[in-house]
Structure 1
Amino acid sequence: MKIATAQIMRKIDSYCIDILGIPGIILMENAALKVMKNIPENNKKFVIVCSSGNNGGDGFVVARHLLNRGNYVEVFSLGSDENMSADALVNLNIIRNMGAKIIEVNNDEELEILRESIIQCEVTIDAIFGTGLSREVKGIYSLAITIMNENSKYILSIDVPSGFECNSGKVMGNCIRSNKTVTFELYKKGFISYDAQAFTGEIVIEKIGIPKAVVDKFHEDEYVMDIDFIKGLIKKRNKYSHKGDYGRTLILAGSPGFTGSAYISTQAAVRSGAGLVTLGCDSSIQNILSGKLVEAMTVPTNDEIGLDSLIAKSDSIAIGPGLGNNKCTLNLLKKVLLNSKCPVVIDSDGLNVLEGNLEILKNKKCQIVLTPHMGEMARISGFSIDEINKNKIDIAKDFAKKHNVVLLLKGFNTIITDGKTVQINPTGSSAMASGGMGDCLTGIIASFISQGYDMMTAACIGAYVHGYSGDKLSKKMFCVNANHIIEALPSIIKEIQDLE
């Protein structure tokens, strides 16, 4: 799914109307028909709250179609006809001529009528503000939104919930809390914000007749991944392949007291299909991990010559889980970045030691994937967590471009970017909120790189499969831990690959 800002949608609409000659009223009609598709026929009583913009116009068209369907409809109009867009006014006049019940809302008495009507109806349709909202919602508009939120049995919003800033997901003073949002053509950028779902409810994207070439002309390579996209990325295995064809993965992880991180990341690499996996760890914990890892080899990182040889032979390297935030980890990371010719995935303490040491990324001889969570991203980027949350895509994209890395910013709606293209991962849930999940993801990404996938593709597959596994398991489990994911990985990957 392609992502758009309000500015992109404005350019697309303008191009369709001004250059292609598609009348705006046709787009409005198409939008309303797609809203109708999302209204169950068993609902009979509706309140539609509109204003003077094109979002209100969509609402007037929906009112006409509901009336034609034989439903009871009351339309409440906020604002005056004098300020109404031309297309919206045409559709308002049509429903006036049809004898629709239309109440203009300008005072407390009319707000009370709105409240009583909403209490009596089954569905409230929000058609007040669309994607162009850029200032705080105040006065009668804010009061109407509060009444809708407090008294509606079910709210459907057209394009975006009124009061929702399209680009950031910020609440502009007051905002509709929808059960469903029917948006048009593209997924809005604000929908990926941390608490957006509390306002959007279920999001449905509908096409309204805008040519694909126009969307492609203005779209900025930002997407939300779906299962069909991931299925298309996962390669079929040749029946004549052997372990050498699926690469050598080196995991540098673990320290006394943190053997679990090393085990999880290594086992995740094994279970997601790497040909040969080797764990490099301190000699003091090697025996512990050798006893736990059946399919992976272990080597001591204290053996400089042996480690150098492994670094040279590997097809991917993951470094960081459970190593400790210390000088030894920093020195090990420097060694890897200066000597590795294969892609390197940096996570956990590998990221922590980059704080104040980002210059070592400039001297690298290899490609790099960074997989920070919000706290780690704040430490290495200099932005606060709050600043990152408010502007995740742009901060992630700028960081990846500046340091020439693939950045996977973990969290709700994980962001994956190489500085040019952005992919958002929608999978995963709070059922996965437990220690070791990041270590598991690191191993999966390193494994797919070893199997011959480029870094961006490996990061996308890894993030999606990891979260999808958690989603699937959480249907029958209260909480899902990293070992559950590891056990499920081969079956889940095969399931996605074989989808019809």
Structure 2
Amino acid sequence: MKIATSEIMRLIDSYCINELHIPGIVLMENAALKVVKNIDLDKYDSFCIVCTKGNNGGDGFAIARHLHILNKNVEVFLVGGKENMKPDCKINYDILKNMGININKVDNLEDINELRDCIERNQVTIDAIFGTGLSRNVEGIFESVISIINENSKYIISVDAPSGFDSNTGKILGKCIRANKTVSFELYKRGFLNYGTDKVTGKIIIEKIGIPKSAINKFHNNEFIMDRNMIKNNLIKRDKYCYKGDYGKVTIFAGSQGFTGAAYICSEGAVRSGAGLVTLCCHKEIQPILSSKLVEAMTVSFEEENRIKELVDKSDAIAIGPGMGNNEGTLNILKNVLNRAKNPVVIDADAINVLKDNLDILAHRNCQIILTPHLGEMSRITGLSIDYIKEHRLEVSQAFAKENKVVILLKGYNTIITDGNSTIINPTGNSSMASGGMGDCLTGMIASFIGQGYNSMDSACISAFIHGYCGEVLSKEMFCVNATHVLNNIPFIIKELQE
């Protein structure tokens, strides 16, 4: 699924109307029909529809017409008057008037009281006020209307975007509708991705309204959301003649005293997602512990320098960082690996932390790099506050990836994966997975898929989707999902997604 800003949507709409000569009223009609399609008509019979003079209001007038034709009880309100009403909106407004449907005006406090009474006596409120084009704070009568809708509605459906919502940034513009469901059109809006937006959007549905793919591709800026089909189409089925050497040699640098779990989970993440050969490099003090736990993976101590050089030279993928400690030793190991490696390196956890004030080491290397920070780690290496990154996750990730020529996987709600040119969002996973070790597991998986022959972006995307999907499936019957649960289920989930 593709992602867009409101500016991109305007360009697409303008191109369709002015260049392809698709009448705007046709797109409006299609939008109205798709909203009606997403209403439970067996459950709901009465509707209060709140419109304005813009095209979002035109959608609302068309929705009212279709619900009236279906013998539903419909009451319609126009907020702010009809002066300078958009032409397509006026067509649908006039059709309602010609059909004898009363359109109530909301211009003052007395009208507000009438709107409140209407909302209270109807089952569903349909918000067709502002849509995606709003960029300024909601004020005046519109602010009052939104408050009345939020305070008195039993169920709210927003058309395209909740009114008062900035569809580019996810910010609330003063006052915002708190929808139970948002039916948006053609492309997923960038603002929907931000933390906390589900509290105002409710369930988000994206519907096609007849815009040609060529028009979307002309203006789309390579931002996507993953879905099951994307993963299924990209997973390679194994050839019956292949052997372990065909599925990659993966080397993992991880662990320290007291943090053997991180090393174990990362190594098992690589093993359980299909790597042919996995070797863990760790401190001599913890090697016996990990050798006894890791049945399928091999271990080497950091003291075996020649063996480690050989492993780095022959590895198809390397992962480094989980549980290593934010110290000079970790920085030196990272430098040595990046100076020697020719194949992709996945940098996570403490190997990210030691990059603070040392980003120059990313510039002098002959390997592709994938960094997998959470918000705190991203803050350390960029110098930006966590709050700022939360509000600008796409822009921060894209800029860092482009400037440093790396792939960034910024973990969290709607994980972002970008190389600075293409950006892909992973929607899987949930808060049941909020426990230590999850990131270590993901790091091992990414290295594993690289080792199996996938490119860096595909490996990051596939791993993030499977990792989150494992958690979602398990959380249906579990209160909390730990990394070990995910590890045990990775092979089964991959098989399911291949079917």
Q: Is the pair's TM-score, using the shorter chain for normalization, greater than 0.5?
A: yes
Q: What letter is aligned with 1:148?
A: I
CA contact 2:316–2:343 (8 Å) conserved in 1: yes
Secondary structure of the corresponding residue to residue 280 of structure 1 = strand
Shift of 1:67: 0.8
Shift of 1:398: 1.0
- Aligned counterpart, 1:71: 72
Cα distance in 2 for residues equivalent to 1:342 and 1:431: 34
Q: What letter is aligned with 2:93?
A: L
Cα distance in 1 for residues equivalent to 2:41 and 2:324: 59
2:27 matches 1:27: yes
Tell me whether 252-261 or 390-399 shows the greater mean CA deviation. 390-399
2:128 matches 1:127: yes
Instruction: Give the TM-score, by structure 1 length.
Output: 0.99
CA contact 2:80–2:141 (8 Å) conserved in 1: no
Cα distance in 1 for residues equivalent to 2:196 and 2:388: 15
Q: Which 5+ residue runs of structure 1 have no aligned equivalent? A: none
Cα distance in 1 for residues equivalent to 2:19 and 2:30: 19
CA contact 2:123–2:155 (8 Å) conserved in 1: yes
- Aligned counterpart, 1:115: 116
- Aligned counterpart, 1:244: 245
Shift of 1:79: 1.1
- Aligned counterpart, 1:437: 438
- Aligned counterpart, 1:204: 205
- Aligned counterpart, 1:407: 408
Secondary structure of the corresponding residue to residue 161 of structure 1 = coil
Shift of 1:83: 2.6
Cα distance in 2 for residues equivalent to 1:254 and 1:353: 15
Q: What letter is aligned with 1:87?
A: D
CA contact 2:47–2:123 (8 Å) conserved in 1: yes
Cα distance in 1 for residues equivalent to 2:127 and 2:297: 57
Secondary structure of the corresponding residue to residue 250 of structure 1 = strand
Cα distance in 2 for residues equivalent to 1:452 and 1:475: 33
Cα distance in 2 for residues equivalent to 1:374 and 1:41: 43
Secondary structure of the corresponding residue to residue 77 of structure 1 = strand
CA contact 2:166–2:172 (8 Å) conserved in 1: yes
Cα distance in 2 for residues equivalent to 1:113 and 1:475: 44
Shift of 1:305: 1.1
Q: Tell me the alpha carbon deviations over residues 155-199 of structure 1, each in whole angstroms, 9 at most, x when there is no partner.
A: 111000100001001000011111111100000000100111111
Q: Tell me the alpha carbon deviations over residues 276-334 of structure 1, each in whole angstroms, 9 at most, x when there is no partner.
A: 00000000100010111111000001211111111111110000000000000000000
Secondary structure of the corresponding residue to residue 146 of structure 1 = helix
- Aligned counterpart, 2:14: 14
Cα distance in 2 for residues equivalent to 1:201 and 1:158: 12
Q: Tell me the alpha carbon deviations over residues 113-142 of structure 1, each in whole angstroms, 9 at most, x when there is no partner.
A: 111111111111000001110100011111
Q: What letter is aligned with 1:269?
A: A
- Aligned counterpart, 1:2: 2
Pairwise CA RMSD:
0.7
Q: Tell me the alpha carbon deviations over residues 245-283 of structure 1, each in whole angstroms, 9 at most, x when there is no partner.
A: 001110100000000000000011000000000000000
2:53 matches 1:52: yes
Q: What are the residue-to-residue correspondences of 1:476-487 with 2, within 5 Å? A: 476-487=477-488
Secondary structure of the corresponding residue to residue 466 of structure 2 = helix
Q: Tell me the alpha carbon deviations over residues 182-232 of structure 1, each in whole angstroms, 9 at most, x when there is no partner.
A: 100000000100111111111111111111100000000000000000111
Shift of 1:478: 0.2
Q: Tell me the alpha carbon deviations over residues 32-66 of structure 1, each in whole angstroms, 9 at most, x when there is no partner.
A: 01111111222110000001110000000001111
Shift of 1:26: 1.1
- Aligned counterpart, 1:40: 40
Secondary structure of the corresponding residue to residue 461 of structure 1 = helix
Secondary structure of the corresponding residue to residue 237 of structure 1 = coil
Shift of 1:389: 1.1
Secondary structure of the corresponding residue to residue 183 of structure 1 = strand
Q: What letter is aligned with 2:308?
A: L
- Aligned counterpart, 2:236: 235
- Aligned counterpart, 2:458: 457
Shift of 1:493: 0.5
- The count of aligned residue pairs is 498
Tell me whether 99-108 or 168-177 shows the greater mean CA deviation. 99-108
Shift of 1:101: 2.4
Q: Tell me the alpha carbon deviations over residues 334-363 of structure 1, each in whole angstroms, 9 at most, x when there is no partner.
A: 000000111000000000000000000010
- Aligned counterpart, 1:395: 396
- Aligned counterpart, 1:278: 279
CA contact 1:345–1:446 (8 Å) conserved in 2: yes
Q: What letter is aligned with 1:223?
A: F
Q: Tell me the alpha carbon deviations over residues 384-443 of structure 1, each in whole angstroms, 9 at most, x when there is no partner.
A: 111111111111111101101111000000000011000000000000000000000000
Secondary structure of the corresponding residue to residue 323 of structure 2 = coil
Shift of 1:377: 0.4
Q: What letter is aligned with 1:275?
A: G
Cα distance in 2 for residues equivalent to 1:178 and 1:293: 49
- Aligned counterpart, 1:166: 167
Secondary structure of the corresponding residue to residue 324 of structure 1 = coil
Secondary structure of the corresponding residue to residue 398 of structure 1 = helix
2:107 matches 1:106: yes
Tell me whether 107-116 or 348-357 shows the greater mean CA deviation. 107-116
Tell me whether 475-484 or 40-49 shows the greater mean CA deviation. 40-49
Secondary structure of the corresponding residue to residue 132 of structure 2 = coil
Cα distance in 2 for residues equivalent to 1:355 and 1:449: 26
Seq. identity, %: 60
CA contact 1:73–1:101 (8 Å) conserved in 2: no
Instruction: Give the TM-score, by structure 2 length.
Output: 0.99
Q: What are the residue-to-residue correspondences of 1:269-418 with 2, within 5 Å? A: 269-418=270-419
CA contact 2:50–2:126 (8 Å) conserved in 1: yes
Q: What letter is aligned with 2:17?
A: I
Cα distance in 2 for residues equivalent to 1:466 and 1:101: 53
Cα distance in 2 for residues equivalent to 1:150 and 1:496: 43
Cα distance in 2 for residues equivalent to 1:249 and 1:26: 55
Cα distance in 1 for residues equivalent to 2:92 and 2:313: 69
2:116 matches 1:145: no
Shift of 1:364: 1.2
